[in-house]
Amino acid sequence: MRIAVIVTTYNRIDALRAVLEGYLAQSDGNFEMIVADDGSTMATKELIEQYQAKSPFPIKHVWQEDLGFRASSIRNRAIAATDSPYLIFTDGDCIPSRNFVASHRKLLESGCFLSGNRILLNESFTMKVLKEKVPVHEWSLSHWLLARVKGQINRVLPLIRLPGIRRKNAPDRWEGVKTCNLSAWRDDLCKINGLDESYAGWGLEDSDLVIRLLRSGVKHKSARFSALVFHLWHPENDRSRLAENNRMLSGLMASDSVRAKVGLDQYLS
């Protein structure tokens, strides 16, 4: 089955390069990639073209004008740019573990979306990884244990494989689910009109998406301890719109809305 990996990015080519290297090394290479570019300059386009020329999987570059943080909009454009039936969402500062795509493929299930987890790299370790092009996607558990001892990462538990884990014991959970490691059926996303572009600036557009997926009857299935990304450090995003986004999320929770007010349908027509 065809899978599309949607990677958002904005003017951070060193991180995007590390992420693309992680996808070149995937154990499951049967996917296409959509780089969802929220208004980057020409340097990002040139980097993507370099990887398009050498990648064994197709890479599409979907770009929109830089009008501030508009993650919902660029993700909707990326959804519209593919007809792959299953979509994995992640970010251009999240290096995938080697079995990231394979794990999402193994766990996908009709009527469910998947939510994985992440390990956070600290600032100095992130700078080292990017400057020296350290292939952390190829690291063994012993490498990561040493990094934890050095205080370079926040935890190692997500690296542990737990056979027999109950993956559907919180089918209605939306708290903590993030689009840096989430996958869903394209048809399910189309039914709820994708992400809601009413959310401007950073914050809560992913919570809005997941709540509406749950309301539409799609259940949460955990991909923790299986599908993992390594999140590169970055300065805190501008949160000046967070209060307004909180207000909109509260309004959603007080309603029974399922479809996004400003969503995917504008790109499908």
- Model pLDDT, residue 22: 98
- Model pLDDT, residue 237: 74
CA-nearest of 133, 170, 143, 163 to 16 is: 133
Side-by-side strand order, sheet with 94-96: 94-96, 228-231, 117-120
- The domain of 27 spans 3-268
Q: Are 7 and 100 in contact (CB under 8 A)?
A: no
- Model pLDDT, residue 27: 97
Distance from C-alpha of 74 to C-alpha of 62, rounded to nearest angstrom: 8
Q: Are 152 and 181 in contact (CB under 8 A)?
A: no
Which pair of structure tokens corresponds to residue 38?
A: 């929220």
Q: How many domains does the chain divide into?
A: 1
| Secondary element (H or E) of residue 165 | none
| Residue 60 Cα distances to 53, 158, 201, 269, angstroms | 12, 30, 25, 20
β-pairing, 181-185 vs 112-115, is antiparallel
pTM over 0.75: yes
Which pair of structure tokens corresponds to residue 96?
A: 């995938």
| Residue 41 Cα distances to 26, 130, 150, angstroms | 28, 20, 36
- Model pLDDT, residue 202: 79
CA-nearest of 112, 84, 75 to 223 is: 112
| Strand, helix or coil for residue 28 | coil
Distance from C-alpha of 242 to C-alpha of 247, rounded to nearest angstrom: 9
Distance from C-alpha of 231 to C-alpha of 94, rounded to nearest angstrom: 4
Q: What angle do CA 256, 249, 116 make, to 5 degrees?
A: 95
Q: Are 34 and 78 in contact (CB under 8 A)?
A: yes
| Residue 202 Cα distances to 68, 135, 198, 254, angstroms | 9, 29, 12, 22
Distance from C-alpha of 200 to C-alpha of 159, rounded to nearest angstrom: 34
Sign of CA dihedral 155, 160, 162, 168: positive
The tens-digit pLDDT sequence of the chain (269 residues) is 899 999 999 999 999 999 999 999 999 999 999 999 999 999 999 999 999 999 999 999 999 999 999 999 999 999 999 999 999 999 999 999 999 999 999 999 999 999 999 999 999 999 999 999 999 999 999 999 999 999 999 999 999 987 778 999 999 999 999 999 999 999 999 999 999 999 988 779 999 999 999 999 999 999 999 999 999 999 887 777 888 998 999 999 999 999 999 999 999 97
Q: Domain with 168 in it: what CATH number?
A: 3.90.550.10
Question: Phi first, then psi: what are they for 185, rounded to 5°?
Answer: -75, 135
- Model pLDDT, residue 64: 97
| Strand, helix or coil for residue 95 | strand
Distance from C-alpha of 228 to C-alpha of 138, rounded to nearest angstrom: 13
β-pairing, 32-37 vs 59-63, is parallel
Which pair of structure tokens corresponds to residue 269?
A: 């027509």
